[in-house]
Chains A and B, each alone.
Chain A
Amino acid sequence: MNAQEILHTIKLSGHTHGSLVTLESVSPEWFTPLCNRLSAEFKLPLSLLYATDDRKEGKGFGIHVLFALDASHEWLLVETTLSEENPSYESLTKTIMEAHWYERYAMDMFGIKAEGHPDPRRLVHHENVPANTHPLRKDFAWNTKMEHANEPYPMHHIEGEGIFEIPVGPIHAGVIEPGHFRFNVAGERIITLEGKLFFTHKGVEKLLEGKTVAQALPFIERISGDMSASHTLAFAQAIEQISSVTVPKRAQELRVLITELERITMHTFDIGNMAGNGTGFTVEAAHGFRVKEKIMRLSERVFGNRFWRGFVVPGGVSKTLSQEELLDIVKTTKEVVQEMEDLFQLGRHSDGLRERLETTGVLAKEVAVAFGALGLPARGSGVDRDVRRDHPYAAYAEMQPEVFTFEKGDVYARWKLRALEMVESMKLIEKICASKNDGSVRVDVHVKDGMAIGAVESWRGELLNVVYVRNGVIARCVPRDPSFCNWALFGAIGPGNIIPDFPLCNKSLNLSYSGTDL
């Protein structure tokens, strides 16, 4: 069923722009029932919920919910306007689980109350942030110095004989970002597990407001170091849609090239890291990291930096690639994928390793759907979603990458999936490097006012970026990293496992702290 048919069934009409269908100004009392109906009756996955502060335009606060229509490659955006004095609406989380973090986020950042939210605790703000601080409201200056408060930030707690609470982090033994995890355990068995993130809030969303596109680009590239190409691409796509720019064919292909290279880089790391560091099968880690270095050096040779930065720009890509560079890319990628394939086979034939990976950290399909899991964890549990196929962008419509899924949903499924996806990425890269398309790779972008959504399947999963441009500058930018949706999965994956297997579950998701903690 496509968006028009759905709207016809529910007797509403929307405003269509490209693949985005918008239902503007739904009245607040009808907003929640409508979203519930779209979710329950039409089984539309809730992809994003975000708030806007439109008080300057005299429209109070806006709540926007984005549903994905995978089959017809469309997006359905439902919007409502809340009053300035009492911004509240009936919580969606009561019936649509996927909304839970988004609503808590809006409560912290905008002070928009989701009435009846089953878990209305703070999310972004820790104890030290005073009550009624809502940084994303337009009247909050980015450089406001806050008092050191001591507000409650309770975490799940269980009492009983032999139940222990284990706090872990925010400082960890490895070189990773800060995150606090609270385990309630009986012996070694995990009963509940909850994360507390947002220790290094950078205020990216706030900082982007009022910036021009060119000024904003470096911020977007640095949201999450391991996904800079994907984040930039989602942002660039949104800007191009707003400005009605058509990107040249060759640039579209080169955009596929760089995001697939990014995918191979991180899958290389993860295959080594999961099998090696997660289980102590150290040979995998040592060689995986060596191979990853090869591909990062490829990035340095071709793009002048190790993180696939600076290539994707609004309007296309920053430079055309010479024949030698393309040959280098194909050669190095082949080498890397073959070496990783060998390592993968080595691990697959180690009984001890498989014993560790199989049946560990199982994510049931219903849970994945309920939490709105994205990317690898979702596909590992049988949720067949991939933006590259479901909402094609760049040159993916013609290239039609194969999407793999597994049913088991354990760490082993996620590990195998990475190996399969890598080979598929290599095929795409070979096709692009052999492509006869050439010509310009960049067109000028004259930024117009408007809003658009950019969607990219990063190596972690579906990445969205909603951009509003007003008067030539960014009025609101919502980069939604897939990690934001996947962090809560730990609460579902962890319990039932034993504590020493948690690092393995963690590595199998490999989520970005920085991408979540904007």
Chain B
Amino acid sequence: MNSFLLTLVQFIAVILVAPFVTGLVRMCKARFQGRHGASPFLPYITYATLLKKQMVISKSTSWVFRLVPFVVLATTLFLVCVLPLLVFGGAFVSLGHFMIVAGVLALGAAFLVMGGLESASAFGGMGASREMTLASLVEPAMIATFATFSIVTGAFTVDAMFANAHILTSPALIPAIAALIMVALAENARYPVDNPATHLELTMVHEAMVLEYSGPYLAMLEYASAVKLTIFSLLVANILFPMTLAVDATLVAILITIAYMIVKVIVVSFLLALLESLIAKMRFYRMQEYMTIAFFFALAGLVFALIHITL
């Protein structure tokens, strides 16, 4: 009962805070650029408005196009249930094996790609091809990162890895955490990989795939991206500060962990906005270099970890 309650708290808190994270990053970016920017709560209104709108769906699409928003949203919600975002020891943590996590992320990406291809528009195809290129580069880096965590902690579920006391004591984790941050940026279509704010169709990756969606389906897809951004923000924060997570389902512990969560998303949003204001987007053909660096960071961590345990 305790674990079920913890998961429920985490689930509700994350899905409630997700639009705020997207809005906050936008507002921080605007402030860094010297603009006033919209309220961080605007995405709530945007999604609500989209839900009320009529959908325009091309006749050339099949049922897959309609299925995509559900699968993409479901994959992110699944991750909210199994990952240690606010609490340790939730009800479904045993499903949080790192290979499952990577697989579910890939499933979401694959369906998004299909959605992009479905509409048969040039931009959707272009976005899909770029997303697949990136996905194939992100995947090894992500698996190597989690493999490092796994070797250091001796656990296979993300929950157990993060809860392990050794998590911050191994030097092998320094490159692995760097790799995780790079992977997180790529996974969430942020700088320097993709520009979520661009209006230039020719440069889009993630946005190009959702270009043909409208109304409630678009709301679902945008909401899924917001949730995914929140998941990764919290994951990166939690690996550095695992003590901020709740383990008991007492009211005090839950309130504290929620307060911590808000602090964590604010700090991460601020840092993300800072990064996005400091650098230009990378040329698309430099992506393999960026992802190779991420992979080698992760690999270095893995090698250190293996040396560490054999010694």
Question: Which residue numbers of A lie inside 8 Å of B, CB to CB?
Answer: 164-168, 172-174, 187-188, 275, 277, 279-283, 285-287, 290, 350, 352-353, 355-356, 360, 498-503
A235 to B7, CA, bound (A): 74
Residue of A166, A167, A188, A279 near B285 (CB, 8 A) is A188
Interface centre among B126, B192, B277 (most CB of A within 10 A): B126
10 pairs of A and B residues whose beta carbons are closest in the complex = A286-B33, A280-B281, A281-B280, A352-B280, A500-B203, A279-B280, A280-B195, A173-B199, A353-B280, A166-B122
Residue B310 CB within 8 A of the other chain? no
Q: Is the CB of B192 within 8 A of A352?
A: yes
Judge whether A173 and B201 touch: CB under 8 Å: yes
Given the known inter-chain contacts A286-B35, A498-B285, please indicate yes or no for A280 contacting B201, CB distance below 8 A.
no
A283: B residues at CB distance < 8 A: 32-34, 277
Distance between Cα atoms of A360 and B29 in the complex (Å): 27
Decide if B286 touches A355 in the complex (CB within 8 Å): yes
Pairwise interchain contact A174-B281, C-beta atoms closer than 8 A: no
Q: Which residues of chain B come closer than 8 Å to A167, judged between CB atoms?
A: 122
Q: Which residues of B contact A360 (CB under 8 A)?
A: 283
A residues less than 8 Å from B284 (CB atoms): 188, 498, 500-501
Q: B279–A352 contact, CB under 8 A?
A: yes
Q: Mark B188-210, 1 if CB is under 8 A from A, else 0.
A: 00011001011111110000000
Complex Cα gap A283–B273 (Å):
11
Contacts of B122 in A (CB 8 A): 164-168
Tell me the complex Cα distance, A285–B33, Å.
Answer: 9
Question: With A and B bound together, what is the CA distance between A404 and B203 in angstroms?
Answer: 32
Contacts of A172 in B (CB 8 A): 201
Can you show 24 pairs from A to B with CB atoms below 8 A apart? A166-B122, A173-B201, A188-B284, A275-B280, A279-B280, A279-B281, A280-B195, A280-B197, A280-B203, A280-B280, A281-B281, A282-B276, A283-B33, A290-B34, A353-B280, A356-B281, A498-B285, A499-B126, A499-B202, A500-B203, A501-B283, A501-B284, A503-B200, A503-B202
**Would you give the 0/1 interface string for B265-300, flagging 1 where the beta carbon is closer than 8 Å to chain A?**
000000000001101111111100000000000000
CA distance A481 to B188 in the complex (A): 44
In the complex, chain B residues whose CB is within 8 Å of the CB of A356: 280-283
CB-based nearest B residue for A502 = B202
Residue pairs across A and B with CB atoms within 8 Å: the count is 82
Asked whether, in the complex, the Cβ of B282 is within 8 Å of the Cβ of A173, the reply is no
Given known contacts A165-B122, A188-B285, A277-B200, what 13 new A-B pairs fall within 8 Å (CB)?
Answer: A166-B122, A166-B126, A174-B199, A188-B130, A279-B281, A280-B281, A282-B33, A285-B33, A286-B34, A352-B282, A356-B283, A500-B203, A502-B202
Cβ-neighbour of A280 out of B35, B130, B191 (below 8 A): B191
Query: Does B125 make an interface contact (CB < 8 A)?
Result: yes
Contacts of A164 in B (CB 8 A): 122, 125
Greatest chain B CB density within 10 A among A164, A275, A352, A500 is at A500
**A502-B202, A503-B200 as given contacts; A350 in contact with B280, CB under 8 Å:** yes
Of all chain B residues, the one with the shortest Cβ separation from A290 is B34
B189 shortest CB reach to chain A, Å: 12
B202 touches A500 (CB 8 A): yes
Cα-based distance from A196 to B9 in the complex (angstroms): 56
Shortest Cβ distance from B283 into A: residue: A356
Other-chain contact of A503, B203, B279, B282, B286 (Cβ < 8 Å): B203
Residues of B within 8 A of A500 (CB): 202-203, 283-284
* Residue of chain A at shortest CB distance from B203: A500
Contact with A along B17-39 (1 / 0, CB 8 A): 00000000000010011110000
Smallest Cβ-Cβ distance to B195: which chain A residue: A280
By CB atoms of chain A within 10 A, which of B29, B122, B200, B282 has the most?
A: B200
Rounded to whole angstroms, the CA-CA distance of A352 and B276 in the bound complex is: 12
Complex formed: what's the CA distance from A279 to B192 in Å? 10
Residue-wise interface mask of B (203-220) relative to A, using a CB-CB cutoff of 8 A (1 in contact, 0 not): 100000000000000000
Docked Cα-Cα span, A356 to B198, in Å, equals 16
- If A167-B122, A188-B285, A356-B280 touch, whether A280 touches B198 (CB-CB below 8 Å) is yes
Q: Which A residues lie within 8 Å of B191 (CB)?
A: 280
Q: Which residues of B contact A287 (CB under 8 A)?
A: 33-34
| Separation of A356 and B283 alpha carbons in the complex (Å) | 6
How far, in angstroms, from A172 to B130 measured CA to CA in the complex?
21
Q: Which residues of A contact B202 (CB under 8 A)?
A: 168, 499-500, 502-503
When C-beta atoms are compared, the residue in chain B nearest to A187 turns out to be B129
| Minimum distance in angstroms from B284 CB to a CB of chain A | 5
A279 to B283, CA, bound (A): 8
B192: chain A residues at CB < 8 Å are 352
- Report yes or no: B200 in contact with A282, Cβ–Cβ below 8 A: no
- Closest residue of chain A to B204 (Cβ to Cβ) is A500
Q: How far is the CA of A500 from the CA of B208 in the complex (A)?
A: 12
- Give the residues in chain B near A166, CB-CB below 8 Å: 122, 126
Q: Are A168 and B280 in contact (CB under 8 A)?
A: no
Roughly how many angstroms separate A146 CA and B122 CA in the complex, as a whole number? 33
Question: Which of A167, A287, A350, A499 is the most central at the interface, judged by chain B CB atoms within 10 Å of its CB?
Answer: A499
Closest to B122 in A: A166
**For B35, B130, B283, which residue has the most chain A Cβ atoms within 10 angstroms?**
B283
Q: Which residue of B lies closest to A173 (CB)?
A: B199
Docked Cα-Cα span, A277 to B200, in Å, equals 9
User: Which single residue of chain A is at the shortest CB-CB distance from B192?
Assistant: A352
In the complex the two chains form, what is the Cα distance from A500 to B284 in whole Å?
Answer: 7
Determine how close the nearest CB of chain B comes to the CB of A283; give it in whole angstroms. 5
Contact A498 B283 (CB under 8 A): yes
Asked if B33 contacts A350 (CB within 8 A), the reply is no
Complex Cα distance A502/B122, Å?
15
Q: B279 contacts which chain A residues (CB < 8 A)?
A: 281, 350, 352
* Residues of the B chain whose Cβ atoms lie less than 8 Å from the Cβ of A187: 129
Nearest-Cβ distance from residue B206 to partner chain A, whole angstroms = 13
| Complex-state Cα separation, A352 to B282, whole angstroms | 7
Which A residues touch B32, using CB under 8 A? 283
Complex-state Cα separation, A476 to B73, whole angstroms: 63
